[in-house]
C-alpha cells in the first residue's frame, strides 16, 4: 500500500508528463494515463469548444465534466479553479466573471503552472493568475472566493476530507462550489484498485458516491445537489492491461458503476461565525 506522499509524487510525475502531451493523446485515455485506448470517443471529458472563453491551447482533454457551465458565476466574482492544469476551466470562468472579477488557478504540478501562465500571457488576461500549491493546503487566505470550480481533480487526492475543509475555509460565507469528479457505485476489481497508472488516470482514486457526498456535508456545506451525472465506460483495450478476459466479463455484469458527477454545494451565510469542526483557521 502506497503512502499519501508516494501517491502525490506519482500524480505529480504523471501530470508533468501530461503537460507535454497534446489533447489527442490525453483524450483517448483515462485522464491522460498511459493506458491509451484505440476507441475514437473520449472516455471522460465533455466538449468545451462551444463555451465562451474556450482556448484550444489550454484544453488537454483531462476533464470529466463541465463544472464552469453549472457554477452560476456572476460578473465580478472571485473564482478559484482547483487543479487548474493548462488553464481551460479558468479561462471559461473568466468569460463569466468578466474583467471586473478575478480567477485564481491552483495546481500541484510546476509544468502545468508554467503552461497555464504562458497561455494567460498569450491571451493578455491580467485578472487570471496561477499559483502552485497543494489543494489540501491552498495558497489562499480564508473567505476570499465567491465560487470554486474543479474538474476531475479531487479523485486524485488521498485526503479528500482535507480538501473539502479547505474549500469551506476559502469560500466566502454564502459562496458555493461546482465540482465535476469521478465516483463509484459498487466495488472496483482489485486489479484496477491496485494499478498505480489507473490511480493517476482518475479511476482507482475514486470513492463511493455516497461517501463523497457525506464528506461534503461533514465539511459544513448545505444545499448539496448533483447537477449532472453520466456513466463512464472504460473500453476493453484499457481493461486488458489490468484484468483477464474472464474478469472483464464478470466486471461488466456486476452492476459496478463508474460515474462522472457534477456536484453543487453552498457555504452557509453564517459560516464565518459557526462552522463545522476543523474547517476554520
At residue 195, the pLDDT reads 62
DSSP-derived pairing of the beta strands 128-132 and 102-107? parallel
Q: What is the CA radius of gyration of the chain?
A: 18
Confidence of residue 27 (pLDDT cuts 50, 70, 90): very low
Whether 139 is covered by a domain: the verdict is yes
| Residue 196, phi then psi, degrees to nearest 5 | -60, -35
Whether 51 is covered by a domain: the verdict is yes
Whether 280 is covered by a domain: the verdict is no
Q: Domain range for residue 166?
A: 4-266
Dmax over CA atoms of the chain, in Å, equals: 57
Whether 176 is covered by a domain: the verdict is yes
Task: Express each pLDDT in 240-274 by its tens digit.
Answer: 888 889 988 888 888 888 889 999 999 999 854 44
Whether 73 is covered by a domain: the verdict is yes
Q: How many residues are present in the chain?
A: 281
Instruction: Name the pTM for this structure.
Output: 0.80
Whether 257 is covered by a domain: the verdict is yes
DSSP-derived pairing of the beta strands 257-266 and 171-185? antiparallel
- Pair 136, 159: CB distance under 8 Å: yes
Whether 60 is covered by a domain: the verdict is yes
Q: Where are the alpha helices (DSSP H) in 99-244?
A: 110-122, 160-170, 190-193, 196-200, 209-218, 236-239
Number of folded domains in the chain?
A: 1
At residue 34, the pLDDT reads 46
Give the whole-angstrom CA distance, residue 43 versus residue 231.
10
Whether 274 is covered by a domain: the verdict is no
Kindly tell me if the per-residue pLDDT of 47 is higher than 50.
yes
Task: Express each pLDDT in 143-202 by its tens digit.
Answer: 999 999 999 889 888 899 999 999 999 999 999 999 999 898 988 777 777 665 565 566
Residue whose grid cell is 457505485: 185
CATH label of the domain that carries residue 12: 3.40.50.150
Amino acid at each position: 500500500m502506497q503512502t499519501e506522499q508516494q501517491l502525490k509524487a506519482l500524480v505529480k510525475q504523471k501530470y508533468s508528463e501530461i503537460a507535454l502531451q497534446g489533447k489527442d493523446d490525453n483524450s483517448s485515455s483515462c485522464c491522460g494515463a498511459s493506458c491509451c485506448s484505440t476507441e475514437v470517443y473520449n472516455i471522460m471529458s465533455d466538449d468545451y469548444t462551444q463555451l465562451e472563453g474556450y482556448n484550444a491551447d489550454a484544453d488537454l482533454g483531462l476533464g470529466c465534466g463541465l463544472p464552469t457551465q453549472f457554477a452560476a458565476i456572476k460578473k465580478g466574482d472571485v473564482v478559484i479553479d482547483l487543479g487548474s492544469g493548462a488553464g481551460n476551466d479558468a479561462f471559461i470562468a473568466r468569460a463569466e466573471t468578466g474583467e471586473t472579477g478575478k480567477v485564481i488557478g491552483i495546481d500541484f504540478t510546476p509544468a502545468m503552472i508554467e503552461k497555464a501562465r504562458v497561455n494567460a500571457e498569450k491571451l493578455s488576461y491580467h485578472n487570471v493568475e496561477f499559483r502552485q500549491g497543494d489543494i489540501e493546503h491552498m495558497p489562499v487566505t480564508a473567505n476570499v472566493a465567491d465560487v470554486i470550480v474543479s474538474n476531475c481533480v479531487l479523485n486524485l487526492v488521498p485526503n479528500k476530507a482535507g480538501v473539502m475543509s479547505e474549500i469551506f475555509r476559502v469560500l466566502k460565507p454564502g459562496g458555493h462550489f461546482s465540482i465535476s469528479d469521478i465516483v463509484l457505485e459498487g466495488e472496483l476489481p482489485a486489479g484496477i484498485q491496485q494499478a498505480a497508472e489507473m490511480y493517476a488516470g482518475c479511476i482507482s482514486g475514486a470513492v463511493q458516491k455516497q461517501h463523497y457526498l457525506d464528506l461534503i456535508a461533514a465539511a459544513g456545506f448545505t444545499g448539496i445537489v448533483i447537477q449532472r451525472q453520466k456513466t463512464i465506460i472504460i473500453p476493453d483495450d484499457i481493461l486488458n492491461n489490468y484484468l483477464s478476459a474472464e474478469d472483464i466479463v464478470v466486471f461488466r455484469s456486476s452492476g459496478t458503476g463508474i460515474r462522472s458527477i457534477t456536484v453543487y454545494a453552498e457555504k452557509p451565510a453564517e459560516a464565518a461565525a459557526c462552522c463545522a469542526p476543523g474547517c476554520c483557521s
